[in-house]
Structure 1
Amino acid sequence: MKNASLILNVILTIAVAVLYYLHFKDKQPEAAPATKTSTEAKGKSIVYVNVDSLLTKYEYFKDTQKVLESKRFQLENDLAAKGRNLQNKVAFFQQRAATMTQEQGRATEASLQKEQQDILAYRERAAQNLAVEEQSKNKELYDQIYDYLKKINAQNKYEFVLGYTKGGGILFADPSADQTKTILDGLNKEYQTKETKPKK
């Protein structure tokens, strides 16, 4: 969870930087009107989202975590079953070792060592595949959040959408700038719409 929170913080920081760039890239500097007050200049252009709430309440993230957790659990079960099977073969070999010829013993031992190496290689491949899938899901998460923020920014004109985590880089966040619920509701609504659409 802490790792996912850190990843989402980085993702939200990048999203903020891109939104800032998109917001200002086509604008030419203008002279500020003399009548503009300091409160008008500030406005509500900087808002934040509570990252922990986003992670615990965004349905896409929860569904993704369930899928990944299920795959981790399956992998652990597969490895445990392969490990038990190998242990049984080793125990059987040890019981019969005295009745085997030297050549049979060496061949069986080599076969067991190869099986052990195959299990280790399988574990390594499966862990790498799971890590790649997790990265892919984190990218999808980032893309969904970024696309949604970009879309709503057409109406709200936020300069920054910060990712806030208690104990993180932001020491204080005014609750009036908290857009977590609004953004979370919008993200969940979009996700539910995508999920209920018939798949082709």
Structure 2
Amino acid sequence: MKNASLILNVILTIAVAVLYYLHFKDHQPEAVSTVKAPAEAKGKAIVYVNVDSLLTKYDYFKDTQKVLESKRFQLENDLATKGRNLQNKVAFFQQRAATMTQEQGRATEASLQKEQQDILAYRERAAQNLAAEEQAKNKQLYDQIFDYLKKQNGQNKYEFVLGYTKGGGILFADQSSDQTSKILAGLNKEYQDKQTKK
């Protein structure tokens, strides 16, 4: 019985091999067609802008920084004036404390502590307002830059406009791809046009 199954397996294997040969012997591989490689396609340009130069030379940024610096200076002066007034009141209270009744002393001391807390709360609110204004101005700055680049992209078809800073994510940038002066000139012109319309 073992011999019969072995002979049957050998015959089936030979039959499959013959069928395989007969099936594929007439199919010759087709000649490989020569496909021409497409001409090298010119892609969109990738350029960069030196962010440090852009920020230090963009008139809008400079004007915004002047306004914010002025507000910081004004806030510091205001806080210094309030602090000096409080110190003067404390000194006056200390001089007159011996002549005051205990009740007057407590009332004056409570009033001075409340004034100190009011000054601290004012400083906190003013600092938060200034930080919020600075954040809003930064958003306006980046929106203006983005809108200008979007308009320019309609003409120049940049694929990317990268922001380059020394020590940033881009380790090397070819000078021929630097569009800082061109973009800066356009941004400043646009800003000056807006200022003259005001």
TM-score of the superposed pair, with normalisation by structure 1? 0.79
Residues 62-110 of structure 1: CA deviation (Å, up to 9, x unaligned): 0000000000000000000000000000000001101100000000000
CA RMSD of aligned residues (A): 1.2
Mapped partners of 2:37, 2:137: distance in 1: 49
Structure 2 length-normalised TM: 0.80
Q: Distance in 2 between matches of 1:65 and 1:36?
A: 50
Residue matched to 1:107: 107
How far residue 35 of structure 1 moved from its aligned partner, in angstroms, is 3.0
Deviation >2 Å, runs of 4+: 33-37, 40-43
Structure 1 vs Structure 2: percent identity of aligned residues?
85
For 2:163 and 2:181, the matched residues in 1 are separated by: 13
1:164 partnered with 2:164: yes
- 2:68 aligned with 1:65: no
1: CA distance, partners of 2:73 / 2:66 = 10
The residue aligned with 2:84 is: 84
Q: Which structure 2 residue ranges, 5 or more long, are not aligned? A: 1-35
Distance 1:73 1:48 in 2: 35
Q: SS where residue 49 of structure 1 aligns? A: strand
Question: In the aligned structure 1, how far is the partner of 2:79 from the partner of 2:67?
Answer: 18
Cα distance in structure 2, aligned partners of 1:35 and 1:52 = 41
- Could you tell me how far 1:42 is from its partner in structure 2? 4.8
Alignment-mate amino acid for residue 176 of structure 1: S
Once residues 98 and 181 of structure 1 are traced to their aligned partners in structure 2, the CA distance between those partners, rounded to angstroms, is 70
Are 1:132 and 2:108 matched, yes or no? Answer: no
C-alpha distance in structure 1 between counterparts of 2:103 and 2:174, whole Å: 77
Question: Computing the radius of gyration over CA atoms, which structure comes out larger, 1 or 2?
Answer: 2
Q: Matched residues in 1 for 2:145 and 2:73: separation?
A: 28
